[in-house]
Amino acid sequence: MCKECHEQMGYQMFTLERKEKIAVVGINRPAKMNAINTQLLNEMDVLLDEIARDEGILAVVLKGSEKFFAAGGDLGEMNEFQSVMEGFRYGSCVQRVFMKLANLPQATIAAVSGLALGGGCELCLACDIRIADENARFGLPEITVGVLPGGGGTQRLPRLIGAGRAKELLFIGEPIDVQEAYRIGLVNRIVPTSLLLDVAISLAKKIAKRPRFGLQAIKKLVNEGLNMDLTSALSYETRCFGSLFGTEDQKEGVSAFLEKRKPAFQGK
């Protein structure tokens, strides 16, 4: 990745900028309202591998445009599918790439303006934190065209907001405004459109000041612990807790606290 701040990479459907220890990723398919097709997924797959390899990046901000984060899957492409197997392959590709996003070692923040529907909403769900502007709208309308969310919506949404609320959204398929999304826990916070990216980047920079191994351990514990029984998850937590005592950042953090100074974490 380019080390120069603000320099963009050569992806067709994404922009990628480096700002200190964070990466700002922009979805860039405006002619199709950032609809998700196979080419976009293939580029995203490569881009996520690039970010995951960069140990200098500790947080990622994912953004769309002011009017749409991502309007969903590309129905024009889907209309060309001629068999069950083609639908299965596409769904498998979406799930694999979105799972790669969910499992990135870095913290991820979705900065959502405008529409986040279908696959766009599922893309938000695969991020760790969601910040939205006053015009954001969220929904999983797949049922209205005879299919279902294939990018993790039926699984991540209930884990985030509860089964009952998730089923209502999934069964009816109508979008909700940002105030309702915040009320049910789909969105972490609402900010003015003019401040959306600044707030997301500010939060990302705050996260990026924390020790790398600690951040990675916490993310894995939360993500994987949700799929364990409590006893197993607590045992996993204890192992991760102990492992951090082998890092230089843990020693620096404790020393800084005792010496009443700010820690200088090195990611070691």
pLDDT digits (tens, 9 = 90+) for 141-164: 999 999 999 999 999 999 999 999
| DSSP letter assigned to residue 48 | H
**In the beta sheet, which residues pair with residue 137?**
115, 177
CA 139 to chain centre: 16
Give the distance from CA 120 to its chain's centroid: 11
The pLDDT score that the predictor gives to residue 266 is 87
**Residue 210 · residue 180 · CB < 8 Å:** no
Is a pLDDT exceeding 70 seen at residue 117? yes
Positive/negative CA dihedral, 249, 250, 253, 258: negative
CA–CA distance, 224 with 18 (Å, rounded to integer): 29
* Six token digits for residue 70: 């991502």
Q: Is the pLDDT of residue 75 over 90?
A: no
Among 4, 66, 77, 142, the active-site one is 142
Active-site residue, 142 included: yes
Token pair recorded at residue 83: 């068999």
Torsion-angle region of 36 (φ positive above 0: left; ψ -120 to 50: alpha; else: beta): beta
Buried b (16+ CB within 10 A) or exposed e, 33-52: bbbbbeebbebbeebbeebb
Per-residue pLDDT tens for 5-24?
333 446 899 999 998 899 99
Q: Residue 11 is encoded by which pair of tokens?
A: 């992806």
Largest CA distance in the chain: 67
Instruction: For residue 4, indicate whether it is catalytic.
Output: no
Q: Which one of the listed residues 66, 122, 134, 237 is annotated catalytic?
A: 122
Tell me how far apart the alpha carbons of residues 51 and 97 are, in angstroms, rounded to a whole number.
Answer: 13
Spell out the residues 6+ positions from residue 59 whose beta carbon is closer than 8 angstroms to its own: 21, 22, 23, 106, 107, 108, 109, 204, 205, 207, 208
pLDDT at 78: 80
Closest CA to 54 of 23, 24, 26: 23
- Checking 72-76 for CB contacts under 8 A at 24+ apart, the result is 72/35, 72/36, 72/117, 72/118, 72/119, 72/120, 72/121, 72/141, 73/35, 73/36, 73/37, 73/118, 73/119, 73/150, 73/151, 74/32, 74/35, 74/36, 74/37, 75/35, 75/145
Average pLDDT over every residue of 44-69: 95
- Rounded percentage of the chain residues whose pLDDT exceeds 90: 82
Q: What's the whole-number mean pLDDT along residues 109-127?
A: 97
Q: Do 81 and 50 contact (CB within 8 A), yes or no? A: no
